Amino acid sequence: MTFHPIRFPLDISLGARGGPERATDIVTLSSGREERNSRWVHSRRRYNAGYGVKSRADMAAVLAFFEERRGRFHSFLWRDGLDYSSNGTDAPTMLDQVIGTGDGVTVSFALTKRYGAAFDPYLRPITKPIVGTVVMAVAGASVPATDFSLDELTGAVTFDVAPADGASVTAGFLFDVPVRFDIDRLDVELTSFDAAEVPSIPLIEVRE
208 residues of the chain, pLDDT tens digit each? 799 999 999 999 988 999 999 999 999 999 999 999 999 999 999 999 988 888 888 888 999 999 999 999 999 999 999 999 999 999 999 999 999 999 999 999 999 999 998 899 999 999 999 999 999 999 999 999 999 999 999 999 999 999 999 999 999 999 999 999 999 998 877 765 565 566 789 999 999 8
pLDDT of residue 205: 98
pLDDT per position as a tens digit, 15-72? 899 999 999 999 999 999 999 999 999 999 999 998 888 888 888 899 999 999 999 9
Task: Please provide the DSSP assignment of 25-87 as one string.
Answer: EEEE-TTS-EEEEE--SS-EEEEEGGGG--SHHHHHHHHHHHHHHTTTTSEEEE--SSS-BSS
Distance between CA atoms of 175 and 81, rounded to whole angstroms?
11
Quote the distance between the C-alpha of residue 40 and its chain's center: 16
Distance between CA atoms of 117 and 33, rounded to whole angstroms?
27
pTM for this entry? 0.92
pLDDT of residue 198: 64
